[in-house]
């Protein structure tokens, strides 16, 4: 029998925790549970979440599972088997700054893309390296399954400081795109074997083989995308900004119909359109603060007041299931296929070896086995990716070297930025706004 597992959630107070626990409990046969530990630097959020998760455990008949919330890394990590990482250094308030400062200067203002993503990267690297350091100290055998953004930058930074780290970096966007396409166009994505390459939030599908239909259905999906925009179908149903994001997949596919794009490419291919549509005073961070964040707080308050009817009536869908599938695949050596963020090392043969790329990979007891594309990728994608990889690498250099010059080069090279002048203005303003979080740059 599989040993019961201790799972620590770094960023326990995150709005995604209930969805992840929902998925963990659904899969408790493949992932038997001893203990859940919520680790967070914000005690109030973490204690609220403990209340919610405690209620979930009881409701679902798992009251034998131990549950703690703690700010103490020794308690959080000692002897744990898995760390699910989902911290947000600086919180939504700083996400708001990232988005608004960039937009104020006419640039894309986004959580993980453009200069907002770079600002977040310079905050996030320190926080995540700290978490990884604790895991190395207190549970060096544990697997870290990381969702913390911005993923490519985080992955690059962690691998520089801890080569050989037992960490898997994953993004839920490809599974969410597949889930949404299948629901809109009448397929079952659990039959799909997808091939894809790119960087995180920056990639393209090359084939979607349907095992039931026994053919590559990407050509027909491309036609459908071009003729009919998708509706959001998952946990974000009804959310207007996700509706627009999925809609942009049709715009991109119409212009570039050789592949199915990741929706996040809109920020690099059509930054002008994105900025035009944006509300500079009410950005995505505001929507999330007034939506998901508020709802999570309300959930805890309702439980506190005993108004528990319908409180768990949610479905976070693929986000939680994806990370849980990774854990079970390691634990039970299942060799399931995921899209993962890994060092290139030849997976994309004509892209630099040391790029951090997103490609299909199999996951088992020995870790991650990425597959190689074998064929070179086209110049259009390669050119875009090379600039982005270089910009991300310069940003990570800036972090480790405390270099203003490297940060300015990274900001200038970012594909959403038209001029070094505006890159410098935004960088200087972001340095001021991030005093508490960024390393000193000189
Ligand atoms: P959130 O702000 O609601 O939650 C993050 C939690 O992390 C907060 O409770 C905060 O107090 C805590 N935290 C911040 N710094 C910390 C530190 N140094 N140590 C421990 N805890 C810390 O944010 P959210 O919207 O729930 O998102 C959480 C993270 O997951 C973000 O990084 C987000 O970008 C990422 N995310 C990634 C994916 C993906 O596909 N990779 C998908 C969704 C969310
Ligand atoms: C997707 C992406 C994540 C990103 C999230 C933002 O899930 O894969 O990397 O963090 O969207 O969603 P939000 O609702 O916070 O804007
Ligand atoms: Mn992502």
**Predicted structure pTM score:** 0.98
Query: pLDDT by residue (tens digit) across 409-441?
Result: 999 999 999 999 999 999 999 999 999 999 999
Q: For residue 178, give the nearest of 190, 167, 168 by alpha carbon.
A: 190
Residue 229: the pLDDT is 96
Residue 310: the pLDDT is 85
Longest CA–CA span in the chain (Å) reads 62
Query: pLDDT by residue (tens digit) across 261-317?
Result: 999 999 999 999 999 999 999 999 999 999 999 999 999 999 999 998 888 877 777
Q: Is the CB of 91 under 6 A from ligand 1?
A: yes
Q: Which residues line ligand 2 (CB under 6 A)?
A: 111-112, 149, 171-173, 284, 288
Cα 14 to averaged position of ligand 1 atoms, centre (Å): 5
Residue with tokens 């359109």: 273
Choose which residue among 10, 13, 14 to substitute to test ligand 1 binding: the one with the highest number of ligand atoms within 8 A of its C-beta. 14
Q: For residue 325, give the nearest of 25, 120, 6, 27 by alpha carbon.
A: 27
Closest ligand relative to 170 C-alpha: 1
Q: For residue 206, give the nearest of 251, 268, 262, 248 by alpha carbon.
A: 262
Cα 149 to averaged position of ligand 2 atoms, centre (Å): 9
Q: How confident is the model at residue 37 (pLDDT cuts 50, 70, 90)?
A: very high
Residue 1: the pLDDT is 72
Query: pLDDT by residue (tens digit) across 312-350?
Result: 877 777 999 999 999 999 999 999 999 999 999 999 999
How far is Cα 405 from Cα 27, in angstroms, rounded to an integer? 48
Residue 14: the pLDDT is 97
Query: pLDDT by residue (tens digit) across 153-199?
Result: 999 999 999 998 999 999 999 999 999 999 999 999 999 999 999 99
Residue with tokens 């939680």: 320
Report whether 132 contacts 144 (CB < 8 A). Answer: yes
Closest ligand relative to 323 C-alpha: 1
Query: pLDDT by residue (tens digit) across 116-161?
Result: 999 999 999 999 999 999 999 999 999 999 999 999 999 999 999 9
CA-closest residue to ligand 2 atom 6: 111
Share of the chain above pLDDT 90, in %: 95
Per-position DSSP letters for 210-232, written without gaps between them: ETTTTEE-HHHHHHHHHHSPPPP
Residue 140: the pLDDT is 97
Residue with tokens 């898995």: 82
Whether residue 234 is predicted with pLDDT greater than 80 in this model: the reply is no
Element containing residue 82 per DSSP (H, E): strand 82-85
Residue 314: the pLDDT is 75
Q: How confident is the model at residue 113 (pLDDT cuts 50, 70, 90)?
A: very high
Residue 236: the pLDDT is 82
Atom from ligand 2 closest to the CA of residue 239: 14
Residue 311: the pLDDT is 85
Q: Is 172 a catalytic residue?
A: yes
Q: Is 264 a catalytic residue?
A: yes
* pLDDT, average across residues 210-214: 98
Backbone angles phi, psi at 360, to 5 degrees: -65, 145
Average pLDDT over the chain reads 97
Residue 71 exposed, middle or buried by CB count within 10 Å (0-12, 13-18, 19+): middle
Residue with tokens 């700054």: 97
Residue 411: the pLDDT is 98
């Amino acid at each position: 029998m599989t040993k019961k597992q201790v799972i620590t959630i770094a960023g326990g107070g995150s709005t995604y925790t209930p969805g992840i626990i929902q998925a963990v409990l659904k899969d408790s046969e493949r992932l038997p549970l001893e203990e859940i530990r919520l680790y967070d630097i914000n005690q109030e959020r973490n204690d609220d979440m403990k209340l919610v998760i405690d209620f979930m455990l009881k409701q679902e008949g798992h009251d034998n599972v131990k549950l703690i919330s703690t700010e103490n890394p020794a308690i959080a990590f000692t002897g744990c088997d898995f760390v699910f990482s989902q911290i947000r250094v600086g919180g939504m308030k700083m996400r708001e700054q990232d988005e608004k400062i960039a937009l104020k200067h006419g640039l894309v203002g986004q959580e993980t893309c453009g200069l907002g993503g770079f600002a977040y990267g310079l905050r996030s690297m320190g926080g995540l390296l700290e978490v990884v350091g604790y895991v190395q100290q207190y549970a060096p055998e544990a697997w870290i399954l990381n969702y913390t953004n911005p993923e490519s930058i985080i992955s690059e930074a962690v691998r520089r400081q801890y080569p050989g780290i037992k960490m898997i970096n994953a993004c839920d966007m490809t599974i969410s795109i597949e889930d949404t396409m299948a629901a809109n166009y009448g397929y079952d994505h659990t039959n799909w074997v997808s091939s894809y390459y790119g960087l995180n939030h920056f990639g393209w599908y090359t084939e979607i083989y349907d095992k039931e239909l026994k053919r590559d259905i990407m050509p027909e999906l491309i036609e459908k995308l071009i003729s009919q925009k998708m509706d959001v179908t998952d946990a974000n149903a009804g959310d207007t900004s996700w509706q627009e994001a999925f809609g942009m997949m049709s715009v991109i596919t119409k212009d570039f119909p050789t592949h199915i794009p990741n929706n996040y490419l809109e920020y690099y291919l059509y930054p002008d359109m994105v900025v035009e549509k944006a509300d500079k005073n009410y950005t995505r961070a505001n929507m999330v603060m007034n939506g998901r964040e508020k709802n999570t707080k309300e959930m805890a308050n309702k439980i506190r007041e005993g108004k528990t009817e319908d409180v768990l009536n949610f479905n976070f869908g693929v986000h939680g299931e994806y990370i849980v599938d990774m854990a079970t695949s390691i634990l039970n050596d299942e060799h399931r296929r995921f899209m993962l963020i890994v060092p290139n090392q030849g997976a994309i043969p004509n892209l630099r070896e040391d790029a951090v790329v997103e490609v299909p990979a199999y996951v088992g007891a020995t870790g991650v086995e990425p597959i190689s594309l074998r064929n070179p990728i086209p110049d259009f994608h390669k050119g875009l990716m090379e600039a982005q990889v270089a910009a991300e690498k310069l940003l990570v250099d800036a972090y480790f070297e405390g270099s203003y010059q490297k940060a300015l080069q990274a900001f200038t090279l970012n594909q959403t930025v038209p001029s070094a002048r505006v890159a410098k203005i935004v960088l200087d303003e972001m340095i001021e706004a991030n005093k508490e979080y960024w390393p000193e740059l000189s």
